[in-house]
Chain A
Amino acid sequence: MTDLIYLDAEHGPRPISATIDGPRVLLDAASVTELTGWTLKPEGLCQDDVCVPVRDPQLAVDGAIDVARFAVALNRPAVVDASAGVVALGERSAERRGPIESGLAPDFTLPQLDGGSFTFSSIGRRKKLLLAWSSW
């Protein structure tokens, strides 16, 4: 097992243990469930009451899951850089388009400049202005 870094949009870098097999990165099934919420079952990859059939015989190797093939099975973007020791999994574009098209403001939690974190929904029933800016 090798120590890698796992990245997603809503958390900071998280250290994980993985097996590197050439360009392939394999995570144990429990880690995949912990990181993504998806579990490999006989009927496929499952989350809550949704199961996606898996037809890829190479997805799992000796109980470990190939991250890149996992992403393909769920149609999610992934960046696997085994040589740099980094794995990143993203959300499907359809997942991100849905709230924008429906007009419902997605909730989020981000760090505050003054310390701590802030959850958008904590503002409650008020009009809100979200201003995105940058020094660049």
Chain B
Amino acid sequence: MSFDDSIATATEWFDASDPRPTFPMLLDRELLLAELYGIYNVPSVVWIDEDDRIARPPVIAPGDDMFRDFTSIDSSVHHTQLRDWVKTGALPAPTGREQIMLPTDDEQLARLERRVGAFLARDGRPVEAERHFERAVQLAPMDWTIRRGSLPLRGDDPFGEKFFAFMGEWAEAGQPGYGSADPNAPR
């Protein structure tokens, strides 16, 4: 499930995959699943069992090691854990680094402000959109889905100066919402 803003943007990445994934590929431009499952960053995974119980709440789990220098997360750890769970039902031992994030009133309002900002931006009204994006960031300053995810809609580079300034603030705050599947990854 992609938090991108358009099917075209997300599809570009899926089409580049070889082989192309065969599982359902969804677009969540309104961040519904961020709200329903408490997802604050990407890539996040949630394990759900046969009885639709959340076997493992959201954890950060990159699919490969492309950004390992940045994340310090060994992607193979999650892959091994996932295979074990699928085959045997065994859950990984708690690492003590899990971060179950429960939505707050401010975050719910931030998601709403971001939703209004996104609508106005898509509608070609960037000035009106901007005041809602600003309010969303004030309310949920450490939520990547809101703060970084809004950068393309605000006409900013998600890999640019504003992103790196945010990343510095977030690291200084202790990387909230970045519970990793890899118990050896530094916090």
A residues lining the B interface (CB < 8 Å): 5, 7, 9-10, 13, 77-79, 81, 83-84, 86, 88-93, 96-97, 99-101, 103-108, 110-114, 118, 121, 125-136
| B34 smallest CB distance to A (angstroms) | 7
Closest to B105 in A: A93
* A-B Cβ contacts below 8 A, count: 182
Given contacts A77-B105, A100-B38, A113-B7, contact A84 B128 (CB under 8 A): yes
Given contacts A112-B26, A113-B7, A132-B34, contact A79 B49 (CB under 8 A): no
Please, which residues of chain A bring their CB within 8 A of the CB of B102?
Answer: 93, 97, 100-101
Closest to B158 in A: A136
Please, which residues of chain A bring their CB within 8 A of the CB of B86?
Answer: 127
Task: Tell me whether B112 is interfacial, beta carbon within 8 Å.
Answer: yes
| Residue among A10, A13, A103, A104 having the largest count of chain B Cβ atoms under 10 Å | A103
Given contacts A79-B112, A79-B116, contact A130 B33 (CB under 8 A): yes
Q: Is the CB of A96 within 8 A of B119?
A: no
Q: Is the CB of B107 within 8 A of A13?
A: no
Given contacts A79-B116, A134-B149, contact A111 B3 (CB under 8 A): no
Q: Is the CB of B104 within 8 A of A133?
A: no
Please, which residues of chain B bring their CB within 8 A of the CB of A121?
Answer: 52
Majority SS at the chain B contact face: mixed
Q: Is the CB of B108 within 8 A of A132?
A: no
| Residue among A84, A112, A118 having the largest count of chain B Cβ atoms under 10 Å | A84
Those of B17-76 within 8 Å (CB) of chain A: 24-28, 30-39, 42-55, 57-58, 61, 63
Q: Is the CB of A108 within 8 A of B33?
A: yes
Task: Tell me whether B103 is interfacial, beta carbon within 8 Å.
Answer: yes
Q: Is the CB of B43 within 8 A of A126?
A: no
Task: Tell me whether B9 is interfacial, beta carbon within 8 Å.
Answer: yes
Q: Is the CB of A136 within 8 A of B151?
A: yes
Please, which residues of chain A bring their CB within 8 A of the CB of B187?
Answer: none
Task: Tell me whether B171 is interfacial, beta carbon within 8 Å.
Answer: no
Q: Is the CB of A13 within 8 A of B119?
A: yes
Q: Is the CB of B112 within 8 A of A77?
A: yes
New A-B pairs, 4, CB < 8 Å, besides A103-B53, A108-B36, A130-B45: A7-B119, A9-B30, A113-B26, A129-B48
